[in-house]
Structure 1
């Protein structure tokens, strides 16, 4: 059985269920419980959540001597732009358990984005793992460099903004901007095959005003295997708004939340909720405390979700290669601009006269809406279309600039 036929059978069973007498293994999404509000700031996660990360490891609660960090904490408090810092030892302990840095075989290095005072950095170093601290604010570099000298090579500090890697410019790139190839060369990380273990884990807190744009930027790099994804299945562990996390895990039929971002990330990655924290547990500069926080769009009553995003081993195949990535993204964008429109109308525009047959191949009803299609079905639809001699890929590009502005 070809891989396309196998996926078609799996999707049919997923949507309609197995027939009597046919043994089938059904894989469902996991529901990950998170810490309740009373335990969010404790040094240990509840047993139900520990089982998904590092429950079998016994470690003492992390503590930090803030008398050694007076200058760094003053810098964090006096910043003139909004940033969130991990300074609570309980929060740092929760993050460490979630990241599971004890597994050195599959994670030779852990990149921490913008550590600031370095409280979480110290917690990670206490586990024995190798840490690369990429800090974009030069003011924090002296303190981090002092910590680097005391670790005997366990910590490497670079003036770099991970979220500004590979800038689109012809001028000389200066820190904190950097090309991913230069970063990986400095870290002695080589390209590995896509189906190998995760070579690098990345932790960071997404800027609340740019989090969607950043996820879209990483998405294009992922589907085309560009930038950091040239080096393998890089795993992200990002704090993001609960609102954005809910969009990533939205299901077909939830027209308000189910968008192109939902489909594309679920096709390409396993998305797992590791932990949830109130935004007020993070340290913010004094200028943005109180009423000024609300003006930034970072309400103190909102939750931040620590979400693990791991690229799937089977994302690419002979039927779906990195060369197909951008076309597939644009196809999904077009379909989900209007989630209540009928899919057959899009299919007819791309492959005139074949829309009905395509729906039959996918075992889908003729009146199905684009917002009712599962992510796996979108990928299979694309694979079937690209094997059709009549498919005009130009349609996937011609209308995208007219239709897709509302997707963002």
Structure 2
């Protein structure tokens, strides 16, 4: 049996009586045209290792395998084991892990080699997983991820935009971010109440060192925790006006207007004061 011999996704789901679980944030992407487009946008192919979180019935998994990439799929919902094992029987390039991705050791999975993350992320864990990959000890070679469009905008927003906040600063300090495409709710089963979007994140060559990145998380948490206040007030516990001045920033501006370079300067100033 080959990948071409597998039954259509809708038939496979129906045969096993499977439906999406709201508690897991599941929405099945069954349109193979879209899953194949995501696989192309991920720029993966033969010789590449892809980690996919939340494959569900395996629509995106099939598209990734069609590129010739080797895929490690991490699925929390054991109901999908028969469907995913059927895909595994059709190829030698699929490694299945039934586990919680939030607790997964991606460094061990990657085994010291570059690995790309490509996923239609479950809505309820998408942001925590992204933060884990942006700030944790393991750095993906690239990430091509689907989120609710609101989250995608929060990742790619520029200073002064409504969506600009802590997630944008951390994402853009560590990666180059690009919003690639919108995906209509009609592409999913069941259709979510929101539009989705695919974002690609590529690690920056000047990614902050761990201590600097930790400091960036501290200052952004304080600044955006009270985003409508001036820096001299929102950063009061960290040094307030003196900290802003040391970073070369006007203490009277608000966090939502400070660019990524400004927040890195704040992180450096906070580290220097410790």
Q: Same fold (TM over 0.5)?
A: yes
Structure 1 equivalent of residue 186 of structure 2: 280
The one of 380, 383, 395 equivalent to 2:268 is 383
Structure 2 equivalent of residue 66 of structure 1: 7
The one of 139, 153, 157 equivalent to 2:96 is 157
Q: Give, in angstroms, the shift of residue 342 of structure 1.
A: 2.5
Q: Give, in angstroms, the shift of residue 214 of structure 1.
A: 3.9
SS of the residue 2:35 aligns to:
helix
Q: Give, in angstroms, the shift of residue 379 of structure 1.
A: 0.3
Q: Give, in angstroms, the shift of residue 63 of structure 1.
A: 7.5
Matches of 2:110 and 2:255 in 1, distance apart?
45
Structure 1 equivalent of residue 200 of structure 2: 308
Structure 1 equivalent of residue 78 of structure 2: 138
Cα 1:325–1:365 change in 2 (3 A) is closer
Contact persistence 1:267–1:375 (CA under 8 A): yes
Q: Deviations over 1:277-307 (max 9, x none)?
A: 10221123xxxx7xxxxxxxx31xx311011
SS of the residue 1:111 aligns to:
strand
Structure 1 equivalent of residue 62 of structure 2: 122
Q: What residue ranges of structure 1 are gaps of 5+ in the alignment? A: 1-61, 166-178, 193-198, 290-297, 394-408
Structure 2 equivalent of residue 87 of structure 1: 30
The one of 359, 369, 372 equivalent to 2:257 is 372
What pairs up with 1:310-349 in 2 under 5 angstroms?
310-316=202-208, 321-345=209-233
Cα 1:382–1:119 change in 2 (3 A) is closer
Structure 2 equivalent of residue 98 of structure 1: 41
Matches of 1:352 and 1:205 in 2, distance apart?
40
SS of the residue 2:27 aligns to:
coil
Cα 1:103–1:314 change in 2 (3 A) is farther
CA RMSD of aligned residues (A): 3.1
Contact persistence 1:63–1:89 (CA under 8 A): no
Rg bigger for which structure? 1
Normalised to the residue count of structure 1, the TM-score between the two structures is 0.58
Cα 1:353–1:276 change in 2 (3 A) is closer
Q: What residue ranges of structure 2 are gaps of 5+ in the alignment? A: none
Contact persistence 2:54–2:122 (CA under 8 A): no
Q: Deviations over 1:185-217 (max 9, x none)?
A: 4x4612x6xxxxxx111122233344344444x
Matches of 1:100 and 1:242 in 2, distance apart?
21
Contact persistence 1:64–1:89 (CA under 8 A): no
Normalised to the residue count of structure 2, the TM-score between the two structures is 0.82
